[in-house]
Amino acid sequence: MIDEMNMRRFARKTQIDYIRHVERFAYYLGLNRTEIAGGLNS
């Protein structure tokens, strides 16, 4: 995911914010990090 954001030239702060929001959303849904990563790679 980070590699793709780097390739698309996302600013570092944008990357950090995006990851934080994905983690918060996953927490809200009751998912863990493994489930998040699995869903993002699909």
Which domain range does residue 27 map to?
2-40
- What's the pLDDT at 37? 65
Contacts (Cβ under 8 Å, ≥6 apart) of 31: 39
How many angstroms from the chain centroid is the CA of residue 13?
A: 13
**Does pLDDT of 35 surpass 90?**
no
- The confidence score (pLDDT) of residue 14 equals 95
42 pLDDT above the threshold of 80: no
Query: Rounded to an integer, what distance in angstroms lies between the CA atom of residue 38 and that of residue 3?
Result: 16
Q: What's the total number of domains in the chain? A: 1
- Mean pLDDT across the stretch 32-42? 64
What's the confidence (pLDDT) of residue 30?
87
CB burial of residue 11 (10 Å; 0-12, 13-18, 19+): exposed
pLDDT the model gives residue 29: 86
What one-letter code names the amino acid at 13?
K
Residue 41: pLDDT above 60? no
